Structure 1
């Protein structure tokens, strides 16, 4: 067990799979007491069991984030309860990615994606950040995306929500930073949870990394931003994308 987050409590939304799950495991391995949150209790219990088997601390908090203030407030209150009275770190990770192009997006899809990807973390932060500010300390880590800044011909709706989260990162850093709450974001690149994917690998061809990333790479960046090592980091979007957005890509 590491000690970079020893004594800290953390709520990680959407932490029953993929990047969120890897982040929960990484936080617990560094000493944090983690509130694992998601819609699927069975998967949540599996993550909690894995953390506890490794000697860490974790509890599952069910949440089906829909963007309503009431749902976000309920999650914040329950996480505070299971974590023993306060939240030191909030990771706004939960999100949905329905395949779409602009003409295929319906009004219902638009509202659902913005509800989960923007409104839910907005109102969750509204419920948690002021409590952090009252205590004089806290960390919020948001999840952006590489396609928020490098246009691709599909998924305009999703990329716009991640652009919103990156903008909120800077706005919240200005709003809450002076009261001791650090707010930053991680911008993942092309990440595959399990086996290699031909499309994912094609998208990374010609980059410095030359291949897609793994969820653990994003989790390690979140650990850094949540730790005291990043005490002087405010309002930053940390690209963890194998060089996809910052380096000219030359197709091989």
Structure 2
């Protein structure tokens, strides 16, 4: 039980990576608040965790980038977790794969609101209480496209690049007070291992799409005391997408 006694809030926890992290945390002994927009899916995640003997509650929230939404989630999660949050996972995200010339202002603002402003204000709401409690861990979800350019989804890539930069800035800001801040940069990950996006993993050492559980394992590590010496890093869990190329023939 690597997270025994820990209290964790996971945003965007009703599907894919977020769901796997919430389930993985609970399996390792953490009490988890599952945050997301869809109550039906959230209740399913909670039911899965409880059926396995874990502790979880669902909070319906639309992380629209506002400070009010972030503060409300922080307050409700703290209440459900008995007065403290030890681990925050900023996973909720908005994806846009459009071309720069086709991206309107509303889409741009929405992607940045969910991917940058929401984790910013949620961290601002939760980190001070972690400091007061003597420590905690924050795990942000970046993306491989933040550091490897592809010809689509520029606004999404930029927003994830911003979150990875915030990871390093927050590590410097909060680390000396006992709050560790790190990030995970997943490759293409989906519950459907035959998803069309799997083509983007061609030419990598792994050679295929990744399972959400692969990212969850990394999140458990970064949230645990085993990672006490890890600060301000971005851990690539991407099948080798960024680090190596396999040349056929």
Quote how far apart the aligned CAs of 1:248 are: 2.6
Quote how far apart the aligned CAs of 1:122 are: 0.2
SS at structure 2 position matched to 1:247? coil
CA distance in 2, matches of 1:220, 1:102: 34
Deviations 1:98-141 (A, max 9, x none): 23110111111111110011000000000000110111110000
CA distance in 1, matches of 2:248, 2:242: 14
> Unpaired segments of 5 or more residues in structure 2?
none
Aligned residues between the structures: 249
| Alignment match, 1:60 | 58
Aligned: 1:160 with 2:158: yes
Quote how far apart the aligned CAs of 1:195 are: 3.8
CA distance in 1, matches of 2:36, 2:143: 20
> Unpaired segments of 5 or more residues in structure 1?
none
Q: 1:223 aligns with which of 200, 220, 224?
A: 220
| Alignment match, 1:11 | 9
CA distance in 1, matches of 2:56, 2:122: 20
| Alignment match, 1:248 | 245
| Alignment match, 1:207 | 204
| Alignment match, 1:110 | 108
Could you tell me whether the CA contact under 8 Å between 1:192 and 1:215 is conserved in 2? Answer: yes
CA distance in 2, matches of 1:61, 1:198: 32
Could you tell me whether the CA contact under 8 Å between 1:76 and 1:124 is conserved in 2? Answer: yes
Please list, as runs of the form range in 1=range in 2, the aligned pairs for 1:119-138 lying within 5 A after superposition: 119-138=117-136
Indicate how the Cα distance of structure 1 residues 251 and 125 shifts in structure 2: closer, same or farther if over 3 A, else same. farther
| Structure 1: 4+ residue segments shifted above 4 A | none
Deviations 1:15-58 (A, max 9, x none): 00000000000000000000000001111000000000000000
CA distance in 2, matches of 1:46, 1:199: 26
Quote how far apart the aligned CAs of 1:158 are: 0.2
With the length of structure 2 as denominator, give the TM-score of the two structures: 0.98
SS at structure 2 position matched to 1:66? coil
Could you tell me whether the CA contact under 8 Å between 2:88 and 2:137 is conserved in 1? Answer: yes
SS at structure 2 position matched to 1:125? helix
Deviations 1:36-81 (A, max 9, x none): 0000111100000000000000000111000000110000000000
- What is the CA RMSD across the aligned residues, in angstroms? 1.0
Quote how far apart the aligned CAs of 1:251 are: 5.1
Q: 2:190 aligns with which of 184, 189, 192?
A: 192
Could you tell me whether the CA contact under 8 Å between 1:205 and 1:250 is conserved in 2? Answer: no
Quote how far apart the aligned CAs of 1:249 are: 4.1
Quote how far apart the aligned CAs of 1:212 are: 1.2
Indicate how the Cα distance of structure 1 residues 174 and 214 shifts in structure 2: closer, same or farther if over 3 A, else same. same
With the length of structure 1 as denominator, give the TM-score of the two structures: 0.97
Q: 1:48 aligns with which of 46, 49, 53?
A: 46
| Alignment match, 2:181 | 183
